[in-house]
Amino acid sequence: MDSMLEYLREETREELTENILPYWMENCLDPAGGFYGRIKGDGEVVPDSPRGGILNARILWTFASAYRLTGREEYLMTAMRARDEILNKFFDPDFGGIYWSLDREGRPLETKKQIYAIAFAIYGLSELYRACADRLALEAAISLFHSIEDHSHDMMRGGYLEAFTRSWGPIGDMRLSDKDQNDAKTMNTHLHILEGYTALYRVWKDDFLAQRLRELIHIFLDRIILPDGHLALFFTEDWTVTSHVTSYGHDIECSWLLCEAAEALGDQGLLQEVRTACTRTAEAALEGWSPDGGMVYERDLNDGAIDADRHWWVQAETVVGCLWQWKHAVHAGLSEPECRSWMDRALAQWLFIRKHLICPDGEWYWSVRADGSANTDDDRAGFWKCPYHNGRMCMEVLTIV
């Protein structure tokens, strides 16, 4: 298995440093400032498209993490460019939090406070502080943490409400996108608050933050992970499940992000409980995976219909989730076949990505369609298409022990 891991590391190091990161530095930096908001699936830049807070936060995280790993100054420069966009343009000086989107000139377009986006800003800013001790980044991350806690935390039922107006008032449409349900609480937002709070806790050992991170872990264990290991996706304020879809990508992503959070807290009893739950979730996710076909997108539980597109982020998270399960199996002293099965899956998933998802002219396609064709209709870079999932996959492979 050592040789398989070394092979994966060689492959993903090259993918990160020769494809993903150069693509973003060479194609996505707007000479007028910041980053282009969109590049179409065929590679055409759309200069005047809206600039998303999520995209900028994900660029920040990716390049800060790459700098921490490699020490390359060009990565730090790109990360600082993203930091400046967030602090100088996206950050709301009057009410706190960050705007959802800007126009090309940096003027606010959509000023709603979507907690998902704020959590990603915490994630990116915390990673920048971890990489280079940038004090402005840490102070901003802490400020955003308090914004979430002051306005979004549900003191009665636990967890976090989805979205608010600019001044933190109630908002009718709380959805992340038109594909989502308009519910008060979602798995997706809680997963990425967990992710952001974990990154912040690494660099700011605050007791209140630790309390909230622990609460988030228990929400996943008690509310979000279902008895069959899959995740429920949408909820009312009182945590009644309203969704009937299995999202295989979120299953496998949660299976390692939840473990990462528990490891950061350092509570061995909680960590063991989390590892058991995460193995169950990873195994449930494999329902949507095949060695030569990657991980399908989702399944509708009402009629059993499967969306068999293989989205870029789902494939990347599958590699990471399988590697984390391999790590846990090795550390737990499980048999060689049990350990190897997870490494085999990670390798097979990478080979699928390499064959089907990597664009000849840089970055990854949005997805491979159910018929096996590359999806060039959806963005190569954009509001949701970012270097974070595939870049993070490479860096997790390079650092997993």
Kindly state whether residue 289 falls inside one of the protein's structural domains. yes
pLDDT at site 323: 98
The percentage of the chain sitting over the pLDDT mark of 70, rounded to a whole number, equals: 100
Alpha-carbon distance 365 to 156, whole Å?
43
- CA 157 to chain CA centroid, Å, is 25
346 closest CA partner among 13, 2, 8, 10: 8
Per the structure block, which two tokens stand in for 296? 């399908």
Q: State the average pLDDT for the chain.
A: 97
What angle is formed at CA 121 by the lines to CA 143 and CA 124, rounded to 5 degrees? Answer: 110
**Contacting residues for 251 by C-beta, under 8 A, at least 6 apart:** 229, 230, 231, 281, 282, 284, 285, 288
pLDDT in tens, 185-212: 999 999 999 999 999 999 999 999 999 9
Q: Would you place residue 220 in the very low, low, confident or very high pLDDT band (cuts 50, 70, 90)?
A: very high
Does the pLDDT of residue 352 top 90, yes or no? yes
pLDDT in tens, 293-317: 999 999 999 999 999 999 999 999 9
Q: Would you place residue 57 in the very low, low, confident or very high pLDDT band (cuts 50, 70, 90)?
A: very high
Kindly state whether residue 364 falls inside one of the protein's structural domains. no
Alpha-carbon distance 126 to 139, whole Å?
9
pLDDT in tens, 126-156: 999 999 999 999 999 999 999 999 999 999 9
Counted domains in the chain: 1
Kindly state whether residue 15 falls inside one of the protein's structural domains. no
How far separated are the first and last CA of the chain, in Å rounded?
12
Kindly state whether residue 290 falls inside one of the protein's structural domains. yes
Kindly state whether residue 156 falls inside one of the protein's structural domains. yes
- CA 145 to chain CA centroid, Å, is 18
Kindly state whether residue 377 falls inside one of the protein's structural domains. no
Residue 231 structural domain? 52-340
Q: Are 192 and 183 in contact (CB under 8 A)?
A: no
Q: Would you place residue 116 in the very low, low, confident or very high pLDDT band (cuts 50, 70, 90)?
A: very high
pLDDT at site 2: 83
Alpha-carbon distance 84 to 182, whole Å?
32
Does the pLDDT of residue 1 top 80, yes or no? no
Per the structure block, which two tokens stand in for 272? 């063991």
The percentage of the chain sitting over the pLDDT mark of 90, rounded to a whole number, equals: 99
Alpha-carbon distance 323 to 342, whole Å?
7
Kindly state whether residue 137 falls inside one of the protein's structural domains. yes
Q: Are 374 and 298 in contact (CB under 8 A)?
A: no
Q: Which residues partner with 125 through β-bridges?
A: none
pLDDT at site 73: 98
What angle is formed at CA 130 by the lines to CA 203 and CA 366, rounded to 5 degrees? Answer: 115
Alpha-carbon distance 354 to 34, whole Å?
30
Determine the residue type at 174. Answer: M
Q: Please give the C-alpha separations between residue 352 and each of 265, 325, 345, 347, in angstroms, as whole numbers.
A: 35, 19, 10, 9
CATH assignment at residue 229: 1.50.10.10
227: which DSSP letter?
T
Kindly state whether residue 187 falls inside one of the protein's structural domains. yes
